[in-house]
Homo-oligomer: A and B are copies of this chain.
């Protein structure tokens, strides 16, 4: 009846216009040498989300709430860990492009891996299933919530936001229709009044995240 509790993290970011996930290479059995999701044991008197935040900080060096974190799903199949009964509460994190992937202490073998590559390789434990569930959650989150902005820095252009959507959904989006939809969706984006030409071409407006939590209407992925 007593079980060991862990938290595992599906941390997504966008690197070089591709969706990438943070994985760590296991140094010890079981599954030695395989890629795995970062995670660790829940401590005594520690809330699940606190444990996830702690692991997130350890692996990425990012503290505080600049990264979106939510509970994904709990995996407890007997035998999922050969060492005993271990139940893991998987969490999903969406982060902007972070400085260095190896900022943490014991994350010496951590790396950002493109998601399609990660899904094409053998991962430790049931992490393939967890990663697939996290990807599907992220994709639908972008439809109904403004969380695509969680992948962007504090200010960003519509072009940059669109490339987030394209990376997560895996297909191209018409820039003109996208521009119209996101800028007219009330509460999604806030115009800072500033401009940038870092994307080349005509200078683009810089936006901040708005304060809504749900998009009306949603931005359905057509395709």
Which of B41, B45, B78, B217 contacts A46, CB < 8 Å?
A: B78
Q: Please indicate the chain B residues that have their CB under 8 angstroms from the CB of A47 in the complex.
A: 76-78
Tell me how many chains of this kind the complex includes. Answer: 2
For residue A31, give the distance in angstroms from its CB to the closest CB of chain B: 21
Near B by CB (< 8 A), chain A positions 79-137 give 85, 87, 89
For residue A81, give the distance in angstroms from its CB to the closest CB of chain B: 13
Closest to A90 in B: B74
Q: Please indicate the chain B residues that have their CB under 8 angstroms from the CB of A5 in the complex.
A: 1, 3, 76, 87
Decide: A74 and B71 in contact? CB cutoff 8 A.
yes
Question: Could you tell me the distance between the alpha carbons of A89 and B74 in the complex, rounded to whole angstroms?
Answer: 7
Near B by CB (< 8 A), chain A positions 19-51 give 41-48
Question: Could you tell me the distance between the alpha carbons of A220 and B215 in the complex, rounded to whole angstroms?
Answer: 12
Closest to A73 in B: B71
Decide: A89 and B71 in contact? CB cutoff 8 A.
no
Decide: B42 and A76 in contact? CB cutoff 8 A.
yes
Q: A197: CB under 8 A from chain B?
A: no
Q: Please indicate the chain B residues that have their CB under 8 angstroms from the CB of A48 in the complex.
A: 74, 76-77, 87
Q: Please indicate the chain B residues that have their CB under 8 angstroms from the CB of A78 in the complex.
A: 44-47
Decide: B76 and A44 in contact? CB cutoff 8 A.
no
8 tightest A-B CB contacts, nearest first: A2-B2, A48-B76, A74-B74, A45-B78, A3-B5, A74-B89, A47-B77, A1-B41
Known: A1-B44, A47-B76, A71-B74. 17 other contacts (CB 8 A): A1-B4, A1-B41, A1-B42, A2-B4, A3-B3, A3-B4, A5-B76, A44-B85, A45-B78, A45-B85, A46-B78, A48-B74, A48-B76, A48-B87, A71-B73, A74-B89, A76-B89
